């Protein structure tokens, strides 16, 4: 990892950040492992979400494994070598995984101060918190904060007329050739504040984003969550015995049944409604729509949510839930994370 600012940010692969986003904002991602029929794979390295869906639909036994403390030790050492003076490490709920425990163990012997944040959440509930930390650490102003990154369309919206204004700066085009190849990456730095954020401020930004985010999701079967110990047998019986389609959410770091719906179609409609309701207290929000093996359904839900929220929806991203989360939720997962913007 190349530290772009004084406080480095680390997260784990269950944050389910869209491709390229972690690198764009300088976030180091420590992957979890997926074990398929006894064969260990590393999420995002040699095992893709499509591989998971194929394995689950074939009835192959799939489990997951948290990173060893050594994996976090290496991430923290990379941050120090790259010039960071502290690390904020943002992770999956400790009620769902021992990942945050591994991070804390590594933090105790790290060569620089490490603030470990248990988001009490999952998926982009973690991802938005990690991004909030990275933005705070880099001093990125609110108007330039976008999952898409400094060169993304969301940032471009806040710089109207920039291209036209350049013609009034004689000689600028010629001078640009003397800038390093990272010129495009450095330009957003002109907007950053002069005084860098402290590690405490960066960690607080992550905690605030995590606590303000809401995660709701729908699965085809509750059996995967029951087998993995992420949902009680009594709650799982709602689907297997009563034939209901519960909407699930994360409360105090645990997966719980939020609402009970009769059909998948009704559940999808209700998922949209609860996401809109979750956005209610906030002037503007960012949304993430996750899926496991059904990108079309996720894209459709994202479009409907963007339409319902209109100008209040600052940004919406559609991304796979990832192999680890998919292994516990099963194929057919559809989830929405609502985060204030």
Average pLDDT, the chain: 83
DSSP state of 240: H
Please give the average pLDDT of every successive group of 10 residues along the chain, which has 341 residues: 72 96 97 92 85 85 92 98 97 96 98 98 97 97 88 36 34 40 44 75 98 92 60 56 75 87 87 96 97 92 96 95 81 92 94
* pLDDT reported for residue 264: 78
Separation of alpha carbons 311 and 283, rounded Å: 9
DSSP string for residues in 317-338: EEEE--HHHHHHH-TT-EEEEE
* pLDDT reported for residue 330: 75
Written as six digits, the tokens of 3 are: 């530290």
* pLDDT reported for residue 232: 58
Its pTM stands at 0.82
* pLDDT reported for residue 45: 87
Residue 149 CA to its chain's centroid (Å): 14
Q: Exposed, middle or buried, 48 (CB in 10 Å: 0-12/13-18/19+)?
A: middle
Convert the pLDDT of each residue in 26-62 to its tens digit: 999 999 999 998 899 998 888 877 888 888 888 888 8
Convert the pLDDT of each residue in 77-109 to its tens digit: 999 999 999 999 999 999 999 999 999 999 999
Written as six digits, the tokens of 65 are: 């494994």
Domains defined along the chain, listed by start: 7-32+67-140+194-210 (3.40.50.10170), 213-340 (3.30.1180.10)
DSSP string for residues in 112-178: S-EEEEE-S--THHHHHHHHHHHHHHHT--GGG--TT-TTSHHHHTTSTTHHHHHTTSTTHHHHHTT
* pLDDT reported for residue 225: 61
Separation of alpha carbons 19 and 320, rounded Å: 9
Q: For residue 145, what are the CA distances in angstroms to 2, 11, 317, 341?
A: 20, 18, 14, 9
Q: Exposed, middle or buried, 313 (CB in 10 Å: 0-12/13-18/19+)?
A: buried
Alpha helices by DSSP H, 213-332: 223-227, 233-240, 264-279, 295-309, 323-329
Separation of alpha carbons 161 and 167, rounded Å: 11
Q: Exposed, middle or buried, 94 (CB in 10 Å: 0-12/13-18/19+)?
A: middle
Convert the pLDDT of each residue in 150-162 to its tens digit: 644 333 333 333 3
């Amino acid at each position: 990892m190349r530290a772009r600012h004084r406080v480095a940010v680390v997260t784990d692969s269950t944050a389910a950040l869209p491709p390229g986003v972690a690198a764009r904002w300088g976030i180091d991602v420590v992957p979890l492992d997926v074990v398929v029929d006894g064969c260990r794979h590393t999420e995002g390295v040699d095992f893709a979400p499509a591989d998971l869906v194929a394995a689950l639909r074939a009835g192959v036994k799939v489990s997951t494994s948290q990173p060893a403390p050594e994996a976090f030790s290496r991430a923290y050492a990379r941050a120090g070598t790259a010039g960071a003076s502290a690390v904020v490490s943002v992770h999956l709920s400790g009620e769902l995984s021992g990942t945050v425990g591994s991070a804390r163990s590594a933090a105790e012997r790290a060569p620089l101060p490490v603030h470990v944040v248990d988001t009490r959440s999952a998926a982009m509930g973690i991802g938005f918190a990690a991004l909030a930390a990275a933005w705070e650490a880099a001093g990125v102003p609110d108007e330039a904060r976008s999952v898409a990154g400094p060169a993304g369309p969301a940032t471009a919206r806040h710089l109207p007329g920039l291209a036209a204004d350049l013609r009034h700066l004689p000689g600028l085009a010629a001078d640009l050739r003397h800038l390093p190849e990272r010129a495009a990456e450095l330009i957003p730095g002109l907007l950053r504040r002069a005084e860098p954020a402290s590690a405490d401020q960066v960690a607080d930004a992550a905690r605030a984003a995590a606590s303000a985010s809401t995660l709701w999701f729908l699965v085809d079967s509750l059996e995967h969550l029951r087998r993995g110990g992420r949902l009680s047998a009594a709650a799982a019986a709602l689907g297997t015995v009563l034939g209901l389609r519960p909407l699930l959410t994360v409360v105090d770091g645990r997966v719980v049944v939020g609402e009970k719906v009769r059909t998948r179609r009704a559940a999808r409609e209700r998922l949209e409604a609860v996401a809109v309701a979750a956005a209610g207290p906030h002037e503007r929000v960012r949304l993430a729509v996750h899926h496991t093996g059904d990108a079309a359904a996720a894209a459709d839900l994202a479009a409907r949510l963007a339409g319902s929220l209109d100008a209040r929806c600052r940004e919406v991203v559609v991304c796979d839930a990832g192999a680890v989360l998919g292994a516990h939720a099963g194929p057919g997962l559809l989830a929405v994370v609502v985060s204030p913007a």
